[in-house]
Amino acid sequence: RALAPSRVVAAPRRARKSRCRSTPRPDVAAPLQRVVEYAEDESSWELHRGVPSEIQRDIDALIASARVDGGIDNAVRGDGDWRVFAAPHIVRLATPLGVLFHPLRYVIRDGTISSDVRHRGRFVPDGWLSASGTVQAAESRVCEGMVRPACRIGFDTFWVGAGASADEPRAGPGSGVVDKAINAVGKLGFVDAIATFPVLFYDERAGVVIFQFPPLKSNIAAFRRRG
């Protein structure tokens, strides 16, 4: 009696482990919390002081995470009242001349932006420099070693001076000759080449944004005030 040919059953193949491992994003909860606590203290708005080295390390950690909640289209809709608490270019350029800039604040509402900075010092009278315009998403660009989302700020109106008191800026420019001249000079100085800012970090819930002013390689950090 002939034997039936034996059937060879192939052993199941073992799944190969992928060599491509995604790099997990760093956990920034701790540095973000420390940055928020620092920014909530109004003394942090005195930009000429610079930020403590440990807070700068935390800011650098946030930048390295490259997190921009909801992408750039969401970041430019970050409506609110913002206060700048880190501006290295002010420390490098203005402080040695004895010029103080604080507070530096901006307000975003429905695609519009207004900015006010108070200036004072040995050679600069106490006053405010203000501007307003629009903010929108722009093309990404390489910054800090990687491609970053970017925004374009189009300031188109400029004015100076205090409002009802020295502690508040004017709400807008007047119709006088001086105001018209300042507005014209501001428009000439704010060219497209300096209007695009890479966004390095944005946490919507905490209200922290870090962006770069490319001409001076200055990473500026701001905090959205609550309430």
pLDDT of residue 185: 92
Residue 93's pLDDT is what?
85
Hey, is 14 helix, strand or coil?
coil
| Non-local CB neighbours of 73 within 8 Å, separated by 6+ positions | 137
In one-letter notation, the amino acid at residue 97 is L
pLDDT at residue number 17? 44
Structure tokens at 108: 């975003």
- The answer to whether 220 touches 84, Cβ cutoff 8 Å, is yes
Confidence at residue 137, expressed as pLDDT on a 0 to 100 scale: 97
State the pLDDT at residue 73: 95
Q: Which residues of the chain have pLDDT under 50?
A: 3, 15-24
Residue 163: per-residue pLDDT:
85
Task: Give the alpha-carbon dihedral of 187, 135, 193, 179, to 10 degrees.
Answer: 10
pLDDT tens for each residue of 140-188: 999 988 999 999 999 999 999 988 888 999 999 988 998 999 999 998 8
Which residues partner with 222 through β-bridges? 84, 209
Q: What angle do CA 54, 118, 203 make, to 5 degrees?
A: 45
**CA-closest candidate to residue 219, choices 187, 197, 186, 204:** 197
Amino acid at position 57, single letter: R
CA dihedral 118, 121, 125, 129 (to 10 degrees): -20
DSSP 156: E
pLDDT score of 5: 52
pLDDT of residue 15: 46
Residue 7: its pLDDT value, please? 52
* Predicted local confidence at residue 94, as pLDDT: 85
Average pLDDT score, the chain: 88
